[in-house]
Chain A
C-alpha cells in the first residue's frame, strides 16, 4: 500500500509529457550518449540533495542535508557544493566526491540564495530576515562585508566581468546594483512586485529581472541602469495571477532566455533580440529554478509541487524527460565531468 502511494505521488504531469511526446527524442539521445554531467537538486521539504546522472537521466543518490535546503551553488572547481539550509541558519559545504558535509559557512538568519564571484573567491548571500547581503571569503570561511539592501533580499546576479553584483529585494521591489570593489550600492531600479531572479545577458549589456507577483520580466539597460522594457506573458486558459516568473536563464549564446513561470507550470522561451515569447513548454507543477548542462544541450527545471525535474532539449525546444526527485525540489546546479 505504502509503495503504491509513493509511486503515484512521484509520477506527475511531467512523466506523462515524456511518455506521450518525447519518447523518440529520448531514444535518439540514448543512441548518441552525451557526456555525463552531475546535476544537484535541493529538495526544500525533503531536506536532501538529489544527485542526477545526466547521461542516465536518473537519480543516482540522495544525500540528507540540513533543514529546508534551497539555494545551492558549486565552487569553481566543482569540488564543493554550498547549500543554504534556511531553517538551520547555516550554509553547509558538501564534498562532491565523498558526498559528506565537511563544514559550514557563517550566514545570517534564514539564508535563501547565494552566488559565487567569477574568480571563485567570494560567496554573496541574501539574508531575508535582516535586509542584508553578506559577502563571505570562501578560503577563510569568514564574512568580509555586509551590504544593507531593501526589504527581503532574494535574487542574486553577477555581471560577466564580475564588477557588478545585483540583489533583488522582494518587498522593496528593486534591483540593487552593487559595486563589487567597494561593496556599495550605486543604483536602485524599481521593478514589478516581488522580484526574484536577476541575470545578466552573456554580453553584459542587459540585466533581466523576473517579478513573481508582478508577472513580468524587466529588461534593464546596464549602461544606464533603467528599465527599458517589460516582458509580459499570456498562456491561454490561465488567469494572469497564475503566471509567476521566477527562475531565469540565458542560453550561453545569448539568443534565448528561459523563464520558469511557477504555478503556470510552464517555461517561457524568449527570443532575446525581439523580446517576444517564442513558445511555452509544459513542465511539472510550480516550476521554480533552471540550470543548463555545461554543453548547453539540456535545461533542467525543478518542479516543486510535482516533486520532479523536467529535462528540456534546448535544440528542439521539447521536454524529453521527467525525473522524480525528493520532496519540493527547489534549486538546481549542474557540474561538468
Chain B
C-alpha cells in the first residue's frame, strides 16, 4: 500500500496527462478503500449508533500547587489534576466508540508566573471550546471573562471561593469543586450529629484561611454549633520539614492551644498547609481535630471506595500509579460532564452542551451514592461531601435528619433563596 502511494506521488510530478490518469486511479482506489472501510466498520464490535462522527476537544489550564506541605503524602505530583481528566477522556472514548465520538485534552501547566489568558488563547486557536481550570480565583475569573465572547465554557476544578458562585458568578463558568460553604456545612452537620457543638476555631493568617474560617463560622451558626473561641496561628515563614521537626512542634502546639474555654472539638482553617496537620495529638486538652486536619471535609479522597468508587480508583491507579485526590476527581467529573452532555446531545457545540448541562435532564453518576446535578442558579455541582481522616472515609454528608424541600444536597452551601448570583 505504502509503495503504491509513493508511486502515485511520483506520477503527480510528471505531466498533466499523467496527473489526470493518477486522479482516475485515485478515485478507483478510493472506491476500493471505501468498500474495505465499510467491511471493517460492519465487522467492528463497535457499531456507531450516531450517524455523525464528532471530536470533542478539551483543554486544561493549571497553575502549579505549592510543593511545601506538612506531610510528604500531600506533595502534589507532576500530573496532579490532569491525570483525572485524562482518565475521563479514556472513559469518554470508550463510550464514544459506540457513538462515533472521540475526545481529546490538551494540557497546559503554567510556569510559576505563567499567563493563563495567553494559555486560553492558545487553546482557543486550537479549536478548543471546553476548558478545565485549576487556577486561583482571580485568574479563573480573568479567563472566564476572556472566554465569554468566544463561546468557550470553563470548568472550575479547584477554586473553593464562595464569591465565584455568588457575586462573581459567570454564565460560562461551571463549578465542579465544592465551595468553602459546602465543605464547612458538610463538616458541621457531622459534628452537630455527634453532639460536638462547642468548637474552638484556629485559623491561619492568610486571606484564604480567613475565607474558610468564615465559612466554618457560618456553618456553626446555621446548624447550631458555637465557636467558643477563635485563635490565629501566625505564619512566620520558614521550611515545613526538618530532621528534628517533631521536637519543636511537640512543645509549640500545646502552648498554642492552652487556656481554652471548654470545647468539644478543635476546628482548623489552614488553607496554606502551615500548621493544621501539627494539631492532632498535640493539643493541650485531649480533643479531636477537624477542618484542615484530622477529620477533613473533601469532595474526594484517595481512600474513598464506597458506591463503586473502588472501580474508579482502580482505573486511576492503572493510569497514574497513585491514588486519586480531590483535584483529580473534580477534573474527572468535569470531563465526564462534557462527555455525558456530548453523548446525550450528539453535539460538540458549547451552546448545546451548556443548555444540556443546565437543563432538567442532566445528572451525573460520580461514585458518591447519589445522582449529582447542577444548581441552575449558579452552576455549582450538587454533591455529597466526604469526611475523611486520611486513612478512610469516616462519614458522608448530608447527614440524616438535615432536611430540605427540594434536595438534601442543598443543605450544603448557600441555597437558592440566599444567592447573590445573577448569571450573565
Which of A188, A213, A242 is the one whose CB lies under 8 Å from B98?
A: A188
Pair A185/B46 contact, Cβ less than 8 Å: yes
Pair B46/A148 contact, Cβ less than 8 Å: yes
Pair B49/A187 contact, Cβ less than 8 Å: yes
Can you list, as one digit per residue, whether each of B77-108 has a CB less than 8 Å from chain A (1) or not (0)?
Answer: 00000000000000100110011000000000
User: A170-B365, A171-B91, A185-B46 in contact; A215/B314 too (CB < 8 A)?
Assistant: no
Residues 358-392 (chain B) with a chain A CB within 8 angstroms? 363-365, 369-371
Alpha-carbon distance A148/B93, docked complex (angstroms): 13
Which residues of B are found within 8 Å of A185, using beta-carbon distances?
A: 45-47, 98
B213 within 8 A of partner (CB): no
Residues 134-180 (chain A) with a chain B CB within 8 angstroms? 147-148, 150-152, 169-174, 176
Alpha-carbon distance A98/B404, docked complex (angstroms): 53
B343 within 8 A of partner (CB): yes
B250 within 8 A of partner (CB): no
Pair B311/A128 contact, Cβ less than 8 Å: yes
Name which residue of chain A comes closest to B46, CB basis.
Answer: A185
Can you list, as one digit per residue, whether each of B36-69 has a CB less than 8 Å from chain A (1) or not (0)?
Answer: 0000000001110100000000000000000000
Q: How large is the interface on A (under 10, 10 to 19, 20 to 34, 35 or more residues)?
A: 35 or more
B409 within 8 A of partner (CB): yes
Which residues of A are found within 8 Å of B340, using beta-carbon distances?
A: 173
Pair A131/B94 contact, Cβ less than 8 Å: yes
Pair B47/A174 contact, Cβ less than 8 Å: no
Q: List 18 A–B pairs whose Cβ atoms lie within 8 Å, in order of A's numbering.
A: A110-B311, A129-B311, A148-B46, A150-B94, A152-B311, A170-B311, A173-B340, A174-B98, A184-B45, A185-B98, A189-B49, A192-B363, A193-B365, A193-B371, A213-B371, A214-B363, A214-B371, A240-B407
Which of B98, B308, B371 is the one whose CB lies under 8 Å from A150?
A: B98
Pair B98/A151 contact, Cβ less than 8 Å: no
B214 within 8 A of partner (CB): no
Name which residue of chain A comes closest to B366, CB basis.
Answer: A213
Alpha-carbon distance A97/B381, docked complex (angstroms): 53
- Ranked 10 nearest A-B pairs via Cβ: A213-B365, A241-B370, A194-B365, A193-B365, A172-B95, A188-B98, A213-B371, A151-B91, A151-B94, A239-B408
Which residues of A are found within 8 Å of B408, using beta-carbon distances?
A: 239, 241
Pair A241/B91 contact, Cβ less than 8 Å: no
B323 within 8 A of partner (CB): no
B315 within 8 A of partner (CB): yes
Q: In whole Å, how far is A242's beta carbon from the nearest beta carbon of chain B?
A: 7
Can you list, as one digit per residue, whether each of B302-317 has a CB less than 8 Å from chain A (1) or not (0)?
Answer: 0000001001001100
Residues 99-122 (chain B) with a chain A CB within 8 angstroms? 99
Alpha-carbon distance A193/B340, docked complex (angstroms): 9
Which residues of A are found within 8 Å of B46, using beta-carbon distances?
A: 148, 185
Can you list, as one digit per residue, whether each of B389-419 has a CB less than 8 Å from chain A (1) or not (0)?
Answer: 0000000000000001001110000000000
Pair A152/B308 contact, Cβ less than 8 Å: yes
Which of B49, B365, B409 is the one whose CB lies under 8 Å from A171?
A: B365
B344 within 8 A of partner (CB): yes
Which residues of B are found within 8 Å of A110, using beta-carbon distances?
A: 311, 314
Which residues of B are found within 8 Å of A239, using beta-carbon distances?
A: 404, 407-408
